[in-house]
Amino acid sequence: MRLQRILCRLPRQALLHFTSVIGMQVQQLSLDDIMPLRVAVLRVNTPSATAHYAEDTDPTTVHFGIRKDGVVVACSTWITRPFPTIATSSIGTNKPATQLKGMAVAHHLQSQGLGAIILSAGVAHAVAQSTHIVWARARDSAIAFYQRNGFVVVGDVFMDDATAMPHHLVKLDLASP
């Protein structure tokens, strides 16, 4: 089924069952709830100490998180924002789009499936908003994760100012069969 493929290859019921078995569920959280994790994971060994984004307080922005024993251990931010037009390509589009930003999983819980779970929740949110594209500015170290979850790399490498790390745009086309 197309929706199963989009939602990171897990049927929604399996996703809900898995999260309830491990005692953690994706919840919509406040910016204050997710900020400590965002800084702890995304600003290690970077020139920036802040992880605030201009869009964090937009009315259409949604922050998701997963708590374990009351502590946020995974988070992501979802922003209604057009996919950028790339000067060297015709891939830019006017279709409704959602940007994933600030995705983080606590270091000690990485590679255990929480990233895929929170990504699935955000993609489900984007689908509910009639989004055609989900996109992100992905660190090169995370490209394989995004590819495993259906995203494709778009364009050339660029250096992110906040992290001084190489990034690529990644895109998940929700409108394709």
User: How many domains are there within the chain?
Assistant: 1
Contacts of 20 (CB under 8 A, 6+ apart): none
pLDDT of 18 above 60 = no
Point out the least confidently predicted range of 13-27, 37-51, 93-107, 128-142: 13-27
pLDDT at residue 123 in the model: 93
Q: What is the mean pLDDT of the chain?
A: 80
CATH no. for residue 73? 3.40.630.30
Report the relative pairing of strands 166-173 and 152-159 from DSSP bridges. antiparallel
- What does the pLDDT look like over 142-153, one tens digit per residue? 899 999 999 999
- Structural domain that includes position 30: 2-173
Contacts of 173 (CB under 8 A, 6+ apart): 132, 133, 152
- What does the pLDDT look like over 107-116, one tens digit per residue? 999 888 899 9
Query: Using an 8 Å Cβ cutoff, are 102 and 53 in contact?
Result: yes
